[in-house]
Amino acid sequence: MSLTHFVHRARLFLCGGIFAVAAGEYGPARQVLAQAPAEARKPSPSAAELTELATAIRPSAKANKWQQIPWLMDVNEGRRVAKEEKRLLFLWTVFGEPLDEC
């Protein structure tokens, strides 16, 4: 058996063992959850509480002025418009998904 196959099988065996212990009826995961503080076990917030929270954290219209800019998705179109209006061109590029790293 090669080292690669040995490592692969060892990983599978360990993952299966971890799953069996965590999912077991008397496993340590159940004991830890049973000892969780009361704050961790309180019910999910109601719809009214979520609405109140969303209102509190929603950015103001002044903070969202950038969304009112007519952004162009085509570079060539942006270059054409910038040339016609004699303005600078702002190019924003992202490698991958912009919210992937958050």
Q: What is the pLDDT of residues 37-91, one digit of tens each?
A: 666 667 788 899 999 998 888 888 888 887 888 888 889 999 999 999 999 998 8
Domain layout of the chain by residue ranges = 3-85
**What is the pLDDT, as a whole number, of residue 17?**
62
Q: Would you state the pLDDT for residue 19?
A: 59
Confidence (pTM)? 0.35
Q: For residue 91, what are the contacts with CB-CB under 8 A and spacing of at least 6?
A: 75, 78
Query: Are 53 and 45 within 8 A, CB to CB?
Result: yes
Q: How far apart are the first and last CA of the chain?
A: 42
Task: For residues 79 and 62, give the distance between their C-alpha atoms in angstroms, rounded to a whole number.
Answer: 28
Q: What is the pLDDT of residues 5-35, one digit of tens each?
A: 677 777 766 656 665 555 655 555 566 666 6
Helix locations, 47-90, DSSP H: 47-57, 75-85
* Contact between 79 and 89 (Cβ < 8 Å): yes
